[in-house]
Copies of this chain bind each other. A is one copy, B any other.
């Protein structure tokens, strides 16, 4: 999150950024497995670039926590410990709860305040939720998670705190390391859906406190689901 980022929408991303994005995708897909060593030269060759932008990209990923740089030893894909999960999720719940709270307040103040299209923001959220219901019914996990992310992002946008969003995104980048595992959870989607309904209901009632609590519990519920999984495997 840059303090000054009001540059023109053009300005294509630098090569190292593109490389970082491709690496993230591979890590999330577990094509680069947690704990695996990253062969700079091999990957650079594969991408058709030199080691320089590859190394710069790895520095960025290291700052994000997706990889671990061991001096003179090379670069390894990060792996989450149980302790990491125990520490991250409560914080994420705290932050996401605040987002829900702020977003609800914005909805409420938009109700009586401005003259703009009556609660169009809420309609957007409701539409996304409806999509969630559909994908859940179709048992389409990938689409569900995609729309789920869109829902949370829309809420963040509504809350209007870029730094809050920034921190959440940083955390989520790391949590995504378990995305593959999360997708394997049968029943989690239904549970998630129930929780989302509670969030949406609180939003509709403009009950900021309830929205915050519902979101908070929703996040912690996600962590509990991961616990189940790890215990089983």
A positions within 8 Å CB-CB of B: 1-5, 7, 11-14, 16, 35, 52, 55-56, 59-60, 63-65, 68-72, 76, 78-81, 83-84, 87-88, 90-91, 94-95, 98, 161-164, 167, 170-171
B98 x A94 contact (CB < 8 A): yes
* A56: contacting residue among B59, B80, B84, CB under 8 A: B59
With both chains docked as a complex, state the minimum distance between the C-beta of A47 and any C-beta of chain B, in angstroms: 17
B68 x A5 contact (CB < 8 A): yes
> In the complex the two chains form, what is the Cα distance from A161 to B91 in whole Å?
9
Across the A-B interface, the 10 shortest Cβ-Cβ residue pairs: A63-B63, A87-B163, A3-B78, A2-B68, A87-B161, A11-B71, A88-B163, A59-B59, A14-B71, A56-B59
With both chains docked as a complex, state the minimum distance between the C-beta of A155 and any C-beta of chain B, in angstroms: 16
* A91: contacting residue among B16, B56, B59, B163, CB under 8 A: B163
Other A-B pairs, 17, CB within 8 Å; known A4-B68, A11-B72: A3-B68, A3-B78, A4-B76, A4-B81, A11-B70, A13-B71, A60-B60, A60-B63, A63-B63, A87-B162, A87-B164, A88-B163, A91-B163, A94-B94, A167-B170, A167-B171, A170-B170
Q: Could you say which residues of chain B place their CB within 8 Å of the CB of A98?
A: 91, 94
A4 x B79 contact (CB < 8 A): yes
Knowing A56-B55, A60-B63, A164-B91, say if A3 contacts B70 (CB, 8 Å).
no
B163 x A12 contact (CB < 8 A): no
With both chains docked as a complex, state the minimum distance between the C-beta of A133 and any C-beta of chain B, in angstroms: 32
Knowing A11-B70, A35-B4, A95-B91, say if A59 contacts B16 (CB, 8 Å).
yes
